[in-house]
Amino acid sequence: MAVTSTRENSKPLIEKRSIDYIPEGERHGRLLSQFTLWMGANLQITAIVTGALAVVLGGDVFWSLIGLLIGQVLGGGVMALHAAQGPKLGLPQMISSRVQFGVYGAAIPIVLVCLMYLGFTATGTVLSGQALGQLFGVSDSVGILIFASVIVLVTVLGYRVIHFIGRVASVIGVIAFVYLFARLISQTDVGALLQIRDFSWSSFLLAVSLAASWQIAFGPYVADYSRYLPSKTSSVKTFFAAGAGSVIGAQVAMILGVFAAASANGQFAGHEVAYIVGLGGTGATAALLYFSIAFGKVTISTLNSYGSFMCIATIISGFRGHVNVTRLQRLVFVLVIVGAATLIALLGQHSFLGAFKSFILFLLAFFTPWSAINLVDYYCITRERYDVPALNDPNGRYGRWNALGISVYVFGVLVQLPFIATKFYTGPLVGAMGGVDISWIIGLVVPAALYYVLAKQWHSAVPDQLILPVEQDAVDAQPSRAGRIQAV
């Protein structure tokens, strides 16, 4: 414990690493930080709105709560399996996709991940802008600009500050949610709402899909925030720390959203932030709640922006070779990312709720196949035996393009199309299934099974053990063994 604390205190405030492998000498942190980061990231207004959608779109309270919980556990399990990769590999999540897609081919899912981050940052900025607008007595647009400035600052500072913000946000979130639940229970007959049980498969599976997509969407970057943990950190403990924080935080927030929407008599949609704050009161109390909403969004919006930066650096490094990103370049990347998200938020702030629902459901078609392929490869095919230096070499073990991974991924996206039900697109089999969207289940199970069968026969050579870059301290201590790699 003393060693960990000393390491952590010795690290610079501004992160110097980007997509680099994190040497053991720079590892720091505790599993508790994984729990608080992901709880803080989920105890926020967008999760409340996501839970509320289950009721706004036709579900009852009782079955919506059950469906959301099932979705949290299923999606949270997928998310936590990705989190456990971070300490072992010491790498951002998406760069490890080069094992399954090739050094160049990994750009295909990474580009789509960038679009996801952009959308989530924009939608979160809309809600934060509403909160800051009410808090400071300015327009929502000015509130959006204020919030974007804060996100740029925190994202540029990097990993340590993000985890610190997560710890603070988890404390503020717990206090705010306890207060809001107390007020809600005092103003609403919760028992009467729970007695209304009108089950329908379409509404129930919508609730499951909302929660599952919420959790699965964290998969492409969750390892970014566990990669600094010491390499000997237990994978099982990392799984439960990140997964429990995310599932508990999201479920609590979505429960509040369900009850708020059910008791709102149609006043929730379009006035999400104002309605939630109105549960707590007026004056100074309302001001504190507006602040807690905005602060809660700082964590998740920073994760999205930071993840976008990591993805862009990964794409560039794939085609240009390994790159060292300077702090100035990092600032430019972040300004472009947050600037684009802010522009989308300003243009789309008045049609938020419907667009957001369609967005998060449509995302599943692109990220569940990637997640299935990555997890099956890591846990069942390579079994954690990656050649990390080869991830930066298009002429190395993983090649430029991996036809197997790319083909299964494309098939995984296409096989879902008949089962998707969104405003963007509705598949031909949705009507025959009573309007139920089961595409995310197809997108997880089919690519996972197909990749497992095919990779068993045609996967590229797997190392006998995990190969990591040689750290300079080890080279200095044993010059006769200096080289490019070390096995673990």
Q: What is the pLDDT of residue 446?
A: 96
- The DSSP letter of residue 487 is E
pLDDT in tens, 391-409: 888 998 999 999 999 999 9
365 has pLDDT over 90: no
- Better pLDDT: 57 or 34: 34
pLDDT band for position 273 (50/70/90)?
confident
Amino acid code (one letter) for 92: P
pLDDT in tens, 208-241: 988 998 898 888 889 988 998 999 999 999 999 9
Q: Are 169 and 40 in contact (CB under 8 A)?
A: yes
pLDDT in tens, 95-113: 889 999 999 999 998 888 8
Domains (range + CATH), the chain: 2-370 (1.10.4160.10)
Query: Could you give the 3-state DSSP secondary structure of residue 402?
Result: coil
Cα 182–chain centre separation: 29
pTM of the predicted protein model: 0.84
d(CA 257, CA 53): 8
Contacts for 214 with CB less than 8 Å, ≥ 6 apart: 47, 50, 71, 72, 75, 250, 360
Contacts for 149 with CB less than 8 Å, ≥ 6 apart: none
Of 48, 71, 65, 55, which is closest to residue 361 (Cα–Cα)? 71
Q: Are strands 485-487 and 467-469 parallel, antiparallel or unpaired?
A: antiparallel
pLDDT in tens, 234-261: 999 999 999 999 999 999 999 988 998 8
pLDDT band for position 423 (50/70/90)?
confident
